[in-house]
Amino acid sequence: MKLTENALTVLRKRYFMKNDQGEVIENWEQLVDRVATNISSGDKKKKARYAKLLDSGYFLPNSPTLMNAGNDLQQLSACFVLPVEDSMESIFDAIKNAALIHKSGGGTGFSFSKLREANARVRTTNGVSSGPLSFLKVFNSATEAVKQGGTRRGANMAVLNVNHPQIMEFITCKEDTSELTNFNISVGITEEFMNSVYSDSDYELISPHTNEVTDKLNAREVFNLIVEMAHKNGEPGIVFIDRINEHNPTPHVGEIESTNPCGEQPLLPNEACNLGSINLANLYEKTFDWDTLKEVVYDSVEFLDDVINQSQFPLPEIDEMVKSNRKIGLGVMGWADLLYKMKISYNSDEAVSLAEEMMEFIDYHAKVKSMQLASAGSFPNFEGSVYQTGNLKRESKHLDWEKLNVEIAKNGIRNATVTTIAPTGTISMISNTSSGIEPQFSLVYVKNVMDGEKLLYINPHFEQAVKEAGIFSQELMEKVSDLGSVAHMEEIPQAIKELFVTSHDISPEWHIRMQAAFQKYVDNAVSKTINFNRDASKEAIQIAYELSYELGCKGVTVYRDGSRENQVLNVGNKLEEKETEDIVNVMPRKRPDITTGITQKIETGCGHLYVTVNSDSEGPCEVFTQMGKVGGCASAQLEAIARLTSLSLRSNIKLESIIKQIRGIRCPSPMWHKGKVITSCADGLAKSLETFLNISSDSLHDIEKINSDVSTVTHHSGSKQSGTCPDCGSAIEHSEGCLKCNSCGWSKC
C-alpha cells in the first residue's frame, strides 16, 4: 500500500512497535507481517493471504488489532459493554473492569438503567441511594486516571432508559461541558415513548428497584428537553433501544442494554466485538470492481473471525460471551471519496440508492462467507437465534435473502453479527481516504508543522478536478481552506460545487437518509454525525430526530456547529467576520492614567512567565509580560504579543477571541503547570488570560478570593477539550461521535 507522509506520521506515533527507549523499531512491511503472522496462527497460506489483504489498501482492522496483534498485550477488540447491576459490588466491579479494558486499548459502554433512583431506600444500610448520576461521576473520574494503552484516553458510553425516574437530570447532566468529559451520553428511547411523543400524551417513570410507577411525564416535553440539550451542545444522543433489541440476533441469551462509545456497536453485557473496514474508494477505477469487493469481503470476514481466536480478553466473562456469539463488524470507509470519483453528489437519490446496493452486497456476501466458515462450527448460541429459526430480517432488493435464510438455518453460521459501520478516524488516515460513510468535513485542511509553518492538505479528488478545470492556484486553495466549502465561491464551476459538497453543505435530511440507507443492511448500527449549521433551530433538530426514527435508524448523534464553548473546528472566519462586520475604522480607546489588575505566574519551557492583566472602567485594557531573567528573542516576542493584545483589547476585541488565536501554539519546549501542559510562551499567556476571564469581577481586589477562583478555574478547566489538537496544535473536528485530528491522528471519543 502506498503510504502518504501523513499516514507514516500516524503509524510512527501510534502503531509501529517501539523499544524501551520509545524508539520506533518497525516499519509498515514489518507491521503487516506481525499482524498477518499472529492472526493466521502460523498457517503459511493464510498468512500470505492476510498480508496481501492488509497491504492491498482495500481493508484494515480496528486499531487495537493493528497495535496489539503479536505483542504481549494481544487485546484486539475496540468495543465492550459491561453490566452495571443495582448493588455496590457490581458498580465497583464495573469500574475496575472498565479500567482494565481502557488500559488494554478498548472503549466501554454501560447502561445505568438498573440503578435505583437517588434517595430510594437501601435496606442493607437503612440509608438512601446516591442514584445513577452520582456513580456516573465516579466512573468518569476513574477513566481520567487510566491512560488507555499508552495511545489514547478511555472512552465511555452511558445509556439511561427514558422511563428511569432520573431521566430529566440525566438529559441535562452534560449541560456544563467541563463535566463528564470521558463519557458520551445517550437516552434509551422505547417504542412506547415515541408513540406517546406523537400523541402528546404522558408516559410512566418506573423505579428499576421496585418496578413501581413513581411518576408520569409528558413525553413531548421530555423529547423537547432532549432536543434543547442536543441543540445546545450535541448531547445527549438517542438510541432506539427497542428497535435494537428487535434486531438482537440472540434474544434467548439476553437483552441489549447499551452500545460502545460511538454508538455503532450494540452489545450484550460482558460482550466485545472486533471491527474492520473496507476502503470503497480504492475499488473504483473508471468502473466499480464488484468482483474484487466480493473477494475482499470474504477475506475480511475470515480475518475478523480469526481475530476472535487470537484475542486475549481482560476478563474471563468477556472471553466466554465473545466466543459464544463470535460477533464481528465489517464496515466501510472512503464512501465520500468514492462518490467524488464516481461524480455522484452525496446529497442525491443516486447516492442513497448506491449506498443501499453497496451495503446489501457486503452484508449478503459477509453472511455467505460466515456460513462457509460454520463448517468449523457455528457460534455456540446459534440454537434459538434468529438464524436457526429463519427470522433474519432483510428486505430483498438485489439478492435472494429468502434462499440464504434457508441455507443458514440448515448449515449454520459462524458469527452472530457480521456488519457494522464504525468510525474509521485513524485507519482512514492510514488509507488516505474519507472516514466511514461521513462526507468530507473540509476539502482543504491546514496542517501545523515544525517552527510554526503551516501546510495545506488538499483532498486529491478535489485537487484533480480544479486542475482539470484549469483554475488551480495556491491562493484559491487557501481561500477554500478559509471558507471550508466551495458552495458559495464564484470562481468554482457549478458542476464542481455540486459534486464536492462537505458536511455543512448537506442538509440534515440527506445525512439521515444516508445513515438509514446503510442501516437497512447492517447487523449492528451505524456511526454517523448529523451536522447542523450554527444558526439551525431547535425545530430542525427535532425534525431530524423524528426522521431518523421513521427511516429505521438505531440511533442518532447531532452536532450544531459552534454549539460548544470549546468549538471543535470552526470552518473559515465567518464567526469573526460576523462579530466585527459593523465595526468600521476601529480606533482603540485611550489608556487611563490609572488601571487596576492582577499578576499571575506561569511555568513555561523558557522559564517563569509573569503576566499582568489590567482593566479600566470598560473591562480588560492591557497586558504586560515579563520572562524571568531571560532576554533576547523570547522576551522581545512576548512584548510584541502583549502590545498587540493590549491594542486589541482597547479596540473592543473580545478577550475570548484573542485567547482562541494564541492558545495551543506549540514550541519545542512544552512544560507542565498545575496539571496542564503549557505548549509555548504564547500558550501560557493564553491560559493566563483564560484564568483572568473566569475570575469573578467582584473579587478583583480580594487576593484570597482571586486565588480561590483561580484554583476553581484550574480544577474545572483542566479537562476541557480544545479547538486545537493537544499533540500537534492543528484544528480538530467533531465526527462520528469523536474528536479527531486530521494532521497527526489524535482522537478522543
Using one digit for the tens of pLDDT, what is the confidence trace for 461-494?
999 999 999 999 999 999 999 888 999 999 999 9
How high is the pLDDT of residue 445?
85
pLDDT of residue 66: 96
Rg (alpha carbons) of the chain, rounded to whole number: 27
DSSP state of 239: E
CA distance 652 to 660: 15
CA 94, CA 91: separation in Å to the nearest integer? Answer: 5
Which burial class, exposed, middle or buried, applies to 531 when counting CB atoms under 10 A from its CB (0-12, 13-18, 19+)?
A: buried
Q: Name residue 710's beta-bridge partners.
A: none
Residue 527 DSSP SS3: coil
Backbone angles phi, psi at 180, to 5 degrees: 50, 45
pLDDT at site 720: 35
| Rounded Cα gap, residues 56 and 36, in angstroms | 13
Which value, to the nearest 10 degrees, does the dihedral of the CA atoms of residues 135, 139, 145, 146 take?
A: 160
Question: What pLDDT is stored for residue 711 in this prediction?
Answer: 47
Please say whether the beta carbons of 317 and 271 come within 8 A: no
pLDDT-flagged residues of the chain (< 70): 123-127, 147-153, 448-454, 565-586, 628-632, 668-669, 671-676, 695-724, 726-730, 737, 749
Give the span between the Cα atoms of 446 and 8, in whole angstroms: 18
Residue 613's SS3 state is: strand
**In this structure, which amino acid lies at residue 3?**
L
pLDDT of residue 632: 65
The per-residue pLDDT for 575 is: 36
Report the Cα 326 to chain-centroid distance in Å: 25
Strand partners, 530: 558
DSSP 194-228: HHHHHHT-EEEEE-TTT--EEEEEEHHHHHHHHHH
489: CB partners within 8 A, 6+ apart: 479, 480, 483, 497
Q: Which grid coordinates belong to 475? A: 491562493
Q: CA 63 to CA 745: how far, in whole Å?
A: 11
How many CB atoms neighbour CB 123 within 10 A?
6
The pLDDT of residue 668 is 67
Residue 189 phi, psi dihedral angles, 5° rounding:
-95, 130
Q: Is 260 a catalytic residue?
A: yes
- Predicted local confidence at residue 741, as pLDDT: 78
Q: In 3D, which of 313, 283, 309, 518 has the Cα closest to residue 420?
A: 518
Do the beta carbons of residue 661 and residue 576 sit within 8 Å?
Answer: no
What is the reported pLDDT for 724? 64
CA angle, corner 612, sides to 608 and 613, nearest 5? 145
CB of 327 closer than 8 Å to CB of 425: no
Options 6, 140, 161, 260, the catalytic residue? 260
DSSP letter, residue 397: S
C-alpha grid cell, residue 227? 432536543
pLDDT of residue 702: 56
Alpha helices in 105-240 (DSSP H): 132-144, 167-171, 191-199, 219-233
Which residues does residue 627 pair with via DSSP β-bridges, in sequence order?
609
Task: Check if 169 is active-site.
Answer: no
Q: So what's the pLDDT on residue 364?
A: 98
Please give the Cα distance from 437 to 422 (Å, whole number): 9
Across the beta sheet with 596-604, what order do the strands follow? Answer: 596-604, 607-616, 619-627
Give the integer Cα–Cα distance in Å for 494 and 488.
10
Residue 623 phi, psi (nearest 5):
-135, 135
Omega before 236 cis (within 30°)?
A: yes
Other C-beta atoms lying within 10 Å of the C-beta of residue 642:
19
Q: How many CA atoms lie within 13 A of 672 on its CB side?
A: 3
- Report pLDDT for 590: 81
pLDDT of residue 652: 82
3-state helix, strand, coil in the chain (%, to 5): 40, 20, 40
Is 656 one of the annotated active-site residues of the chain?
A: no
Q: Of 78, 70, 67, which Cα lies nearest the Cα of 13?
A: 67
**Per the confidence metrics, is the pTM higher than 0.95?**
no
How many Cβ atoms from other residues are within 10 Å of residue 422's Cβ? 30
Q: 589 — phi, psi (to 5°)?
A: -70, 155
Distance CA 634, CA 626 (A): 10
Question: Cell 489588575 maps to which residue?
Answer: 597
**What span, in angstroms and rounded, lies between the C-alpha atoms of 330 and 582?**
52
Q: Fold for 5-75+269-411, please state it.
A: Anaerobic Ribonucleotide-triphosphate Reductase Large Chain (3.20.70)
Q: At what angle are helices 681-694 and 703-717 packed, to 10 degrees?
A: 110
- For the record, the C-alpha cell of 333 comes out as 470507509
- Dist CA 358 CA 397 (whole Å): 11
Per the listing, cell 486589541 goes with 648
| Contact call for residues 236 and 85 (beta carbons, < 8 A) | no
* pLDDT on residue 619: 83
**What backbone torsions phi and psi does residue 520 show, to the nearest 5 degrees?**
-55, -30
Q: Is 78 exposed, middle or buried (0-12, 13-18, 19+ CB in 10 A)?
A: buried
Residue 510 · residue 347 · CB < 8 Å: yes
What own/partner pairs with CB < 8 Å and gap ≥ 24 does 566-570 have? 566/177, 566/720, 566/721, 566/722, 566/723, 567/723, 568/721, 568/723, 568/732, 568/733, 568/734, 568/739, 569/441, 569/723, 569/731, 569/732, 569/733, 569/734, 570/723, 570/731
Quote the pLDDT of residue 584: 43
Q: Is 456 helix (H, G, I), strand (E, B) or coil?
A: strand
Phi-psi region of 280 (alpha: psi -120 to 50; beta: other; left: phi over 0): alpha
Separation CA 335–CA 341 (nearest Å): 10
Q: Where are the domains of the chain?
A: 5-75+269-411, 79-246, 442-501, 596-717
Marked catalytic residue, from 264, 271, 438, 622: 264
Three-class secondary structure of residue 621 per DSSP: strand
Q: Which of 79, 262, 553, 744 is catalytic?
A: 262
Q: How far apart (Å, rounded) are the C-alpha atoms in residues 269 and 279?
A: 31
Query: Do 563 and 233 touch, CB atoms closer than 8 A?
Result: yes
Residue spans of beta strands (DSSP E) within 444-580: 444-448, 454-458, 529-532, 555-560
**CA 113, chain centre distance (Å):** 23
